[in-house]
Amino acid sequence: MDFAFSEEQQMLRDSARGFLSSKFTPERVAELAESSEGWDSASWSELAELGWIGLSVPEEQGGAGFGFIEEAVLFEELGRSLYPGPYFATVGLALPALVSSGSLAQVIAGEKTATFAWAEAGGAQDLSDPGALSTKASGSDGNWTLTGEKSFVVDASAADLVVVAAAAPDGTALFLAQLADAEVTTKGTMDSTRRLSTVAFDATSASLLVDAAGAPAVLERIRLRCLAAVALEAVGVAQSALDLAMAYVKERKQFEKPIGAYQAVAHQVADTYMETELARSLAYWAAWCVAESDERAPVAVAAAKSAAGEAAVAACERSIQVHGGIGFTWEHILHRFYKRAQWLDAFGGFGAAHRKVIAASILD
């Protein structure tokens, strides 16, 4: 039994934290959040140079040959710095569908970003069972076209490529299209560091990535990876909310004392510490299960996602509370963490949806 990261993984964390804290300061994140693009596309090639995009891709395919544990380290750090950009969309969502595609090299090299489109308004929402999709794929061999509309597409405004789950004649299959060929409508979102779009296809040309026979396994792989990634990001967000709270209550004085000396304040911070650590343990367990394709991955991921999403929201709420008025202002970074926390809590279903999975596994 060994529940710690290796020295190499720790070095990856240190270097990621160094890079992100110098490149994406709270001021820079706020600036990007309010820009029309919502991210810094020029910095994407730096992520590629650091080897982050192809981190888990085998070396013979041009990647670094690591696994999900290493990606887990990055997701936690990216959440911690509130990185705005399509890393989650590209690596957390699209990557498993791209591994055998001709676009993989461009993606790893940082020349193209990608996302994944499956949800449809009023229809399929849940990745574990996309159900009957109204987006249709027609054609054969090398010539496919897509028609239909996808909703809640993550960071489509920052992506070049889109992996699309669509109804092919023999069942749900995965296709690759260029977002430039589709109609992307980016929505106003609470969290402007990670935007959501509708993407409409009208006989848009696409290539087949994974056929109907192979799609369920790839979809499940994407589901497990992205939920674990969200849990890890949520842990990072919770940690930042905690760090901000700790720093503030040591500094801020009222009634001639730092407010952290008052138990009513300190105990809220202690509760955040407790919940963050508990969520972190679950997120690491989930990450390990996903990396090892352990049979417990579905419940581990459900446990981690439900606990970490809720812990991140609570951490931000308590942090706002102990900050007092300043924590409630637009200029303070906290509201951006709070909005990301809520984004993460909502993604792929709120906690109760995941506890349903757990209840079925322990009670039925």
Between 234 and 279, CB nearer to other proteins = 279
- Rounded CA separation 146/167 (Å): 9
Query: Applying CB under 8 A, does 278 fall inside the site for other proteins?
Result: yes
Taking the complex as a whole, the smallest distance from the CB of residue 6 to other proteins amounts, in Å, to: 7
Residue 19's CB is within 10 A of a number of other CB atoms, namely 18
Considering the rule CB under 8 A, would residue 117 count as an interface residue with other proteins?
no
By CB under 8 A, residue 249 contacts other proteins = yes
- Both tokens of 97, joined, read 């569908």
Among 184, 200, 266, 346, binds other proteins (CB under 8 A): 266
- Residues 6 or more apart whose CB falls under 8 angstroms from that of 52 comprise 16, 74, 87, 91
Q: Taking CB under 8 A as the rule, does residue 263 contact other proteins?
A: yes
CA distances from 261 to 115, 203, 270, 319, 326 (A): 47, 64, 12, 16, 19
Q: Does 10 bind other proteins (CB under 8 A)?
A: no
What residues contact residue 262 under an 8 Å CB cut-off, 6+ apart?
none
Q: Binding other proteins by CB under 8 A: which of 189, 205, 273, 350?
A: 273
> In angstroms, rounded to a whole number, what is the distance separating the alpha carbons of residues 295 and 290?
9
Counting every residue written for the chain, the total comes to: 364
**Both structure tokens of 73:** 């380290």
Per CB under 8 A, 288 contacts other proteins: yes
- Which listed residue (38, 260, 298, 309) binds other proteins by CB under 8 A? 260
Options 89-97, 149-157, 194-202, 257-265: segment touching other proteins (CB under 8 A): 257-265
Q: Which residues bind other proteins (CB under 8 A)?
A: 1-6, 9, 69, 246, 249-250, 257-258, 260-263, 266-267, 269-271, 273-274, 277-282, 284-285, 288-289, 294, 300, 303, 306-307, 352, 355-356, 358-359, 362-364
